[in-house]
Amino acid sequence: MINPKSIISQARSSTLIRIYLRLFPTLIALSIIASFLIYQPELAQDFTNRFLTKLNLNQDDSAQAAPQLDLISPINSHRQQHDQPTLSPHPSLNSAAEYIALSLAANPQSETAIDLKKIATLADYSYSTIAYLAAITPLPIITPPTTNWITDSSSDILDPQFTQIGSHQLNIHLDNQDQIISVIVLASPADNPPPYPPSPTQKTTTNQSPPTYYTGTQLWQEVQNYRRNNGVPEFKQDNTLCTIASIRVNQMIELGKLDNHEGFTPLVDQFREDGRLTHTNIAENILSGYPTPQAAVAAWNGSPGHQALLRDGAYVFACTAANHGYAVLVAAF
């Protein structure tokens, strides 16, 4: 039987030569970066990101994996313990909870911007009573937000008027720490029968289905396909950029049109000021009116400025968001 130590010993000198030859281009690149840092620091940043992209080393490893909390079961258990019926999950209230989470992510120090009436309209939910509970919790989570809600807001949770519930969680990086925004929305739907029955001369249409829209996940897959097909490294998804992209989509949904990037710079500045955004360069692509993610990416590809962002290998981190026909790609390095 051959002694493994002898094999290692015999191969050591040739291995060192091979390692040196492989590291030689790296040493040259590092010396170039050092020269740039002295005379042209902006070029050094760009060169560094491109170099690390080639080595597949420029990764965002700072974010902790956030747990997926069950926000609804503890609420319903608390109601059952006090002889109240459980709340039925409703997808529109999930959307409302998401809009609230995004609003809090945009302005975590204040809840004054939360307009429940407007959010319910965006979520396509007609209500007679509505309320929400929210928490921003540092990771790792020691006490679940539902425990605090049950302690501090039991009367709201047990309110017999509420019959439905929605929830959402959003990961953010705030105050140099990974945190999670948790939101539940409690509501009862409006009972709005038509005031008068249709007259014999009126035509009622009942076979129209609501429009369907592609999602941010579907857009992300198509953007990654585009990068691969054009010989560019795939983007690395970044939670902070996902938050910015989602907020931007909802800004334009609320506005009812594209905003010509007017909401982008103030949002980025806000994220920089509170330390949530640390990337040096950040850019976005936006569009609306395209029925599929394939059509959206094709439209960006047909515009030189938008195509440049899709194909620029210096942009390492990114995220997409899409809803109601609006699409956003935010990329950074």
Any domain includes 295: yes
Q: How many domains does the chain have?
A: 2
Alpha carbons 129 and 112: distance in angstroms, whole number: 19
Residues 230 and 135 in one domain: no
Domain extent, residue 164, equals: 71-189
Alpha carbons 71 and 1: distance in angstroms, whole number: 60
- The pair of three-digit structure tokens given for residue 34, joined into one six-digit string: 């050092």
Residues 93 and 184 in one domain: yes
What CATH number has the domain bearing residue 304? 3.40.33.10
Any domain includes 11: no
- The DSSP bridge partners found for residue 323 are 326
In a structure prediction context, what are the per-residue pLDDT tens digits for the chain, which is 333 residues long? 333 333 222 333 333 344 344 444 554 555 554 554 444 544 444 444 444 444 443 434 444 456 678 999 999 999 999 999 999 999 889 988 988 888 888 776 665 567 888 888 888 889 999 999 999 888 888 889 999 999 999 999 999 999 999 999 888 877 778 888 899 999 999 875 444 344 444 434 444 455 678 888 899 999 999 999 999 999 999 988 988 998 999 889 888 899 999 999 999 998 898 888 899 999 999 999 999 999 999 999 999 999 999 999 999 999 999 988 999 999 999
Note the pLDDT of residue 195.
43
Q: Which residues contact 96 (CB under 8 A, 6 or more apart)?
A: 116, 119, 120, 122, 123, 125, 130, 132, 166, 185, 187
Q: Which residues contact 30 (CB under 8 A, 6 or more apart)?
A: none
Residues 230 and 305 in one domain: yes
Strands (E) across 96-163 are located at: 127-138
Note the pLDDT of residue 63.
44
Any domain includes 20: no
